[in-house]
Amino acid sequence: MSRREWNLFSRSITMYNDWIKRVLPPEEMVTDSKQENGGQKNGGKAGFDASDLDPYLLKDPETMAKNFARALENLGQAASAWLAPRERGEISETAVDPMTDMVKTLSKVTEYWIADPRRTFEAQTQLMSSFFGIWMRSMQRMQGEPSPPEPDTRKDKRFSDEDWQKNPFFDFLRQVYFVTSDWAEKMVSETDGLDEHTKHKAGFYVKQITAALSPSNFVATNPQLYRETIATSGENLVRGMKMLAEDIAAGHGDLRLRQTDMTKFAVGRDMALTPGKVIAQNDICQIIQYEASTETVLKRPLLICPPWINKFYILDLNPQKSFIKWCVDQGQTVFVISWVNPDARHAEKDWAAYAREGIDFALETIEKATGEKEVNAVGYCVGGTLLAATLALHAKEKNKRIKTATLFTTQVDFTHAGDLKVFVDEEQLAALEEHMQAAGYLDGSKMSMAFNMLRASELIWPYFVNSYLKGQEPLPFDLLFWNADSTRMAAANHAFYLRNCYLRNALTKNEMILDGKPVSLKDVKIPIYNLATREDHIAPAKSVFLGSQFFGGKVEFVVTGSGHIAGVVNPPDKKKYQFWTGGPAKGEYETWIEQATETPGSWWPHWRAWIETHDGRRVPARKPGGDALNAIEEAPGSYVMERV
């Protein structure tokens, strides 16, 4: 830094410290006010005195300047890591550009409000009057006068630091943010003339914008970040920008958001530990059979069809949380499909391939290993959707191998599919298919980011702040390791799924063609155990409930507490959450859940009883592969090890 730049920086720091002191009331005024209010003021908010300013005053401008320069250097490295693959042509921004769709969608909302000057004036007046009320309350606080209580007292983890309310400046920002966010969402909801999909997209995009622009996401407007930056003289930003550069490099030009310490875990060493063998494999999957831990086992083996959007070991995260291990310990012979992490070679593998070379291949493997033609099957998320469609195909072909099916957080009807529908319309799908056609697959980071966007205020911005602004290494967390261990989507498979399920809702309209045959869920007469989770943002409980009504046989509909992962992976010994049972899934979901019976704890024992009710016969324990198949390798196999 030159002498001239240093002098300018020093003067700016002096001016900043002077400004901080001027914008707050004199110490004696605050002290008097605090005494009059018994140490509290303004409707119970803590008083603010001059000593509260100390953490915000810069004390070492020289070190701050040096660290700021180092942080900028690291930021430059992050920019280079982002630009390099684009300059080499390895990343194209033209095929799938959500920003373009967002601008186009929100412009339709803007057109509605500016088309009528009176409507525009009323909307602006509403917002400005709210701002004026906040300003008046803030000025009364600054002058030590009693002020009306704040109308919005919502609790929000982003604003848990006491200075968000204690400090007038940050309190003002917080209130303005809430008012502006609510106003923007209201503008979307009150826009007439938009089709349902466009309005849904507009509301989703507004939430993404307001989540991104929260004052908690910026150093200058977050009291905790500000104090941290002052206390470390900017060392936190040096560390944070270094991690940002590392994470963009790790994502090969895209940000791979740092949510956990990825060095603390390894598949097969810290997770996916249930003993077993890979006994068969083909181009798209490996079949794992787990070793028995009981002397006898249920006669019917259990086949688990996990989603290919994530890896199967969410059901075998560790011995304490493992659904697979629990099933083995209850006397089940467990087989799991471990999907390949596809690349360009798998571009043409569609749903028919995943049904035939995945589920049917697993059924043939089970018969060879055990001699059993009848099995119980479990499908999780999109794995459950594939299983349901395959059951309909089997019904048409008179294939009766699967005798019961259990679906975890599975949608077969996509009428109420939630915010993921935002990403699916003809225009976006055409662009996505063009992109996948070139590569042969969709990169896993794209799907991971889409899922994170469903809860951006919890899954994106807190990690952004902690890692890149606070400069803190995240704590090791096995679930977040699994979440970051993303998979690619084979082009044909992913396109079929999005078009037939999210866009056309073809399965419940009897319009899905699978392996050249029209399929209908009404043909599926076997017993179904259909599990929904009450707080699911990927497969909403209302959507799972509606889907239950399309099967041709008896459906046991069960709702469990928590969300898409925690609600499913809930071992009985944890004594967490609860589940609801209430008879057939008929009528409205809201009515059903109000009348349902609540049972504390895990749903796993309830499911086990349901399974054994349909066939509780037991046979001597089986060894992996039986006498017909040799083990290829130890579980969890090599397919699951392939990283993006």
Residue 529 CA to residue 373 CA, distance in Å, equals 20
Q: What is the mean pLDDT of each run of 10 residues along the chain (644 residues)?
A: 51 53 46 43 49 81 93 95 88 65 91 91 92 85 71 83 90 94 94 92 95 96 95 96 95 90 94 98 98 98 97 96 98 98 96 98 98 98 98 97 98 94 91 90 87 89 96 94 93 96 97 97 98 96 98 98 96 96 94 97 98 97 96 98 86
Q: Look at residue 42 in the predicted model and tell me its pLDDT.
A: 42
Helix extents (H) in 48-97: 61-87
pLDDT score of 143: 73
Q: What's the confidence (pLDDT) of residue 591?
A: 96
Domains of the chain: 3-250 (no CATH), 276-423+486-641 (3.40.50.1820)
- The total number of residues shown for the chain amounts to 644
Helix or strand (DSSP H, E) at 171: helix 168-189
Q: Packing angle between helix 61-87 and helix 3-22, nearest 10 degrees? A: 110
Q: CB–CB of 283/461 below 8 Å?
A: no
According to the model, what pLDDT value does residue 28 have? 43
Res 100: pLDDT: 81
H/E stretch holding 359 reads none
Enumerate the H helices of 485-614 as residue ranges: 491-497, 541-548, 589-595, 604-614
Whether residue 285 contacts residue 639, with contact meaning beta carbons closer than 8 Å, is answered with yes
**What gap in Å lies between CA 45 and CA 166, rounded to an integer?**
6
Say how far apart CA 439 and CA 443 lie, in whole Å: 9
For residue 349, the SS3 value is coil
Q: Is 577 left (phi over 0), alpha (psi -120 to 50) or beta?
A: left
Q: Identity (one letter) of the amino acid at 210?
A: T
Instruction: Clarify whether 501 is annotated catalytic.
Output: no
Give dist(CA 82, CA 313) in Å, integer.
31
Residue 2 burial class via C-beta count within 10 angstroms: exposed 0-12, middle 13-18, buried 19 and up? exposed
DSSP H/E element including 280: strand 276-281
Give the list of residues 6+ apart from residue 88 with CB closer than 8 angstroms, or none: none
Phi, psi of 293, rounded to the nearest 5 degrees: -120, 5
- Least Cα distance to 418 among 501, 510, 508 occurs for 501
Catalytic residue (one of 285, 305, 327, 381)? 381
Cβ atoms within 10 Å of 109's Cβ, excluding its own? 21
- DSSP, collapsed to helix, strand or coil, labels residue 583 as coil
